[in-house]
Chains A and B, each alone.
Chain A
C-alpha cells in the first residue's frame, strides 16, 4: 500500500518534470479557480522560472520516491504526508497570488514537519526529536510570518493580491517601501533557504527526517526559498537596489564558509550533509546577490550570467545532494547508525552505496569531470568580472565573496574526504558496521540513476547552461552572455573564459587510461602481494588504531578555533591509593555554535523575560479577566 503511494508520487514527479520542462521552453499557462479558496481564490501560473523549479521538484521526486519504496519497507507511516509534501512543493512555484502561495507553503511546511517528527521518533531519541520538530516549526513559522507581513504590505500598497499586479505597480512605489517589503520577504525566504543566521533548523531537521525526505528537503525544499528570493527581487519588486544584492552576497559568502566549517567537525553523517547544504545555499545566494548587484547597476549581461550560474548550481545541488542523502540513508539502513565514529569499512560490505556516495562526494567537492565543478567554474567567471562595476565598495564585497567561495570550495574537499573516507574505508569501527548489508534493489536503482544524472548534467553543460540562461533572461532581459563554440565549448562573455566539459572529461579518461596502457605495453606485470598494513612491525591491527572523524577534523578545529570556540574538558580519575596511577581519562572538546550563542540564546532570554513580564496579566482570577473585558469594551466604544 505504501509502495503504491510512493509509485504514485514518482509518477506525479515525472509528469511535473515534463510539464516544467515544457514551461521552461516557453509553454505558459494559467489556471484560476476563484471559488475554491477564500481571499483571492486559487491561481496557478506557469512561466519559465516556475517551470524550472517545477521540473526540479518533479525530477528529484522520482528517484526519491523509488528509493522510499525500498527504504521504508513495510512501514506505512508517512507515505501520505510524503505525497502531500511533494504536491505542495510543486504548487509553490506555480502560485500566482498570495492565498495560493501561503496555502502551498504552509502545506509544504506542515507535511515536512510531520515527516521530520516521524523520522525523529523512529530514531528513538524522544528529547532530540521533540527539539528538532520544535525548532523546525518555530523557524518555519517565523519565516512565514515575515513572508505574510511582506506580502500583505505589498497587497495593501498595490491594491491587489496577484503577483502579476505587483510587477506592474512596484516601480511606482518609493525605494524605502520596496526595501522594507524586500527585507521582510528576504527574511522569510532566507529562513526557508537556510542562510546563516537563519539556518539553525537545518542541522536539526534534515538528519532527523527519513532519508528520502531529507533528500527532498535538502535538494528542493530549500531551493524554493531561493525561488522566492528570485521572484521577489527580480519580478515583484524590480528594479532592484544595490544594497539588496550586496546583502545577499555577504550572507551567501558567510553561509558558505560557516556551513562547511560546521560540516567538517561533525561526526553525524546526515548532519554533515545538512551543514553542507547550508554551504551550497550560500553559494547560490552569492550568485543571486551578484546578479542583483549587476542588475541594480545596469549591467544586464553580467546579471544574466550570474543568475544562470546560480540556477545551474540549484539544479546541480539538487542532483548531488539528493544522491548523497540517499547514499547516507543506505548506510543508515544497512548499519543502523549515522555516527561516523562507529562506521568504517563499508566499501567492502556496501559496494553500490559506496560507489554512489563517492560520485556524490566528487560532485559536491567541485572536482572535474562532474557537475559541481562546472557550476563552481561558471560562478567564478561571473564574479571575476566584477571589475566592471563602478563603485569600489562593491568591488570589495565581491572580492570577499570570491575569497569566501574559494575557501569554501577547498574546505568542501576536506569535508567530503572525511565523510567518505571515515565512513566507507579501512576497518569497521563497530559491530554494526562489520555486519552491514547492502541496500535493496529499489534504493540502488534510485541512487545509480541520480549518479548518472550528475554526470549527464556535467557533460551536457553546453546545452543546459544556455537553456538556463534563457530562463534567467525572463528575469533580467539581456543578450545571452554564453555562446557555444567548437567541441561543445561554453564561451562566456566573449573572450573572457571558456570551458568544454566533454573535452575535459575525455582528457581525464585518457589520462587515467594512459598509465594503464603504458604499463601493459611495458609488460610491467607483477601481481600485487597481499599483506597487512605497515604499522612499524606491531603485532596487531584493530579499528582502534585508525584515524577517527574527530581526529581528522582536528587541524581545522585548531586553525578556526576563534570560530568554533571549543571548550576543552579534561577529567582524570586517579586511583585513591596513589595519584600516580590513573584509572580513567575523559577528554571532551566540543565545538560551540556561534550563531546559537550570540543570537538565539540572547533573543530567547529576552523573549522569556518579556513573556514573564507580560504573564503578570494572566493572574488566574476571573474577576480580573472580567475587568479586562469591561476595559476593552469601553476602549472600543470610545475609539469607534
Chain B
C-alpha cells in the first residue's frame, strides 16, 4: 500500500495538453452556442457500444487515463443514461442493438447530444452493407457530431469532444 503511494508521489502528474487539430463533422441538432452554454463546463458521457469491434472502446478507455485525462475539462463517464448529457456511440449499429440504442436515447434526459465516434458509427465503416448492420448511428438516433477514425486515437477523440462542445483549448 505504501509502495503504491510512494510511486504515485514520485511520478507526479503526467497529463499532456490536448492536441491542436481536430477532425469533427458537425451534424448538429443543437446549436453550437447552446451546447457550449449548457455543457461546456460539465458533461456527463454515457458510452454505448452498438456492436463495435471494441477498437474504439479501447481508445475511449485511454481517455480516462493519466495521459489524456478528460476529467480535467469537466467531462466524465457515467454508468446510467439517466445521468448522462451525451451519448458517445461506437459501432455500426448492428440490428440486434438498434432497439437498445433507441431505448437508451429515450432514457437520457433532455437536453442531450449524441456524438458518434469512429468510422463505423458514421456510415457503417468496415461493415457497411452487411445484412447484420443498420449502417451508421444517424439511422437510429439524431447525431450532433461525428469523430472519424478507425479507430480514432485518444488524442483525436479528446480534441473532437472538446471541439464538439465548442470549448476553447
In the complex, A touching B, CB below 8 Å?
yes
User: Are A537 and B109 in contact (CB-based, < 8 A)?
Assistant: no
* Cα A343 to Cα B99 with chains together (Å): 31
**Contact across chains for A531 and B100 when beta carbons are under 8 A apart:** no
Partner of A538, one of B80, B100, B106, B109: B100
Using CB atoms, name the residue of chain B closest to A534.
B107
A537 touches B100 (CB 8 A): yes
The reply to whether B80 and A534 contact each other, CB–CB distance below 8 Å, is: yes
Question: A536 at the A/B interface (Cβ < 8 Å)?
Answer: yes
Q: Which of B80, B97, B101, B107 contacts A531 (CB 8 A)?
A: B107
A537-B82 in contact (CB<8A): no
**Which residues A530-568 have CB closer than 8 A to chain B?**
531-532, 534, 536-539
A174 to B: closest C-beta gap in Å? 64
- What DSSP secondary structure best describes chain A's contact surface? loop
Known: A534-B80, A534-B82, A538-B100. A529 touches B107 (CB 8 A): no
Q: B110 near A537 (CB under 8 angstroms)?
A: no
Q: Is the CB of A529 within 8 A of B110?
A: yes
Please indicate which of the listed interface residues B103, B104, B109 has the most CB atoms of chain A within 10 Å of its own CB. Answer: B103
B interface, by DSSP: helix, strand, loop or mixed?
Answer: helix
A539 and B99 form a contact (CB under 8 A): yes
| Complex Cα–Cα for A413 and B109 (A) | 33
Q: Knowing A529-B109, A531-B106, A531-B107 touch, does A537 contact B80 (C-beta < 8 A)?
A: no
Chain A residue nearest to B104 in the complex (CB): A537
Cβ A536 vs Cβ B100 within 8 A: yes
A 186-197 binary contact with B (CB < 8 Å = 1; else 0): 000000000000
Q: How far is the CA of A537 from the CA of B80 in the complex (A)?
A: 11
* Cα of A151 to Cα of B82 in the assembled complex, Å: 68
Find chain A residues with CB under 8 A from B100 CB.
Answer: 536-538
In the bound complex, how far is the Cα of B97 from the Cα of A538, in angstroms?
A: 10
List residues of B (52-79) whose CB comes within 8 Å of A's CBs.
Answer: none
- Chain B residues touching A, range: 10 to 19
A258 → chain B, closest Cβ, in Å?
A: 39
B81 lies within 8 A of chain A by Cβ: yes
Query: How many angstroms between the C-alpha atoms of A529 and B103 in the bound complex?
Result: 14
Give A144 Cβ to nearest chain B Cβ, in Å.
Answer: 60
Cα A213 to Cα B81 in complex, Å, equals 49
Closest CB in chain A relative to B141 CB, distance in Å: 12
- Residues on B with C-beta less than 8 A from A534 are 80-82, 107
Bound Cα distance from A529 to B111, whole angstroms? 12
Nearest to B99 among chain A residues (CB) is A539
A531 to B97, CA, bound (A): 19
Q: Residues of A contacting B97 with CB < 8 Å?
A: 537
Enumerate B89-127 residues with CB–CB distance to A below 8 Å.
97, 99-101, 103-104, 106-107, 109-110
List A residues 473-532 near B (Cβ within 8 Å): 526, 529, 531-532
| Complex: A39 Cα to B99 Cα, angstroms | 84
Instruction: Among A526, A532, A536, A539, find the residue whose CB has the most chain B CB atoms closer than 10 A.
Output: A536
Residues of B within 8 Å of A529, CB to CB, are 109-110
CB closest residue in chain B, given A539? B99
Give min CB distance, A531 to chain B, whole Å.
6
CA distance A96 to B56 in the complex (A): 86
Query: How many Å lie between the Cα of A532 and that of B104 in the bound state?
Result: 10
Shortest distance from the beta carbon of A87 to any chain B beta carbon, whole Å: 58
Additional A-B contact list (20), CB under 8 Å, known A534-B80, A537-B101, A537-B104: A526-B110, A529-B109, A529-B110, A531-B106, A531-B107, A532-B103, A532-B107, A534-B81, A534-B82, A534-B107, A536-B100, A537-B97, A537-B99, A537-B100, A537-B103, A537-B107, A538-B100, A538-B103, A539-B99, A539-B103
23 contacts between A and B (CB under 8 A): A526-B110, A529-B109, A529-B110, A531-B106, A531-B107, A532-B103, A532-B107, A534-B80, A534-B81, A534-B82, A534-B107, A536-B100, A537-B97, A537-B99, A537-B100, A537-B101, A537-B103, A537-B104, A537-B107, A538-B100, A538-B103, A539-B99, A539-B103
Interface residues of B (CB under 8 A from A): 80-82, 97, 99-101, 103-104, 106-107, 109-110
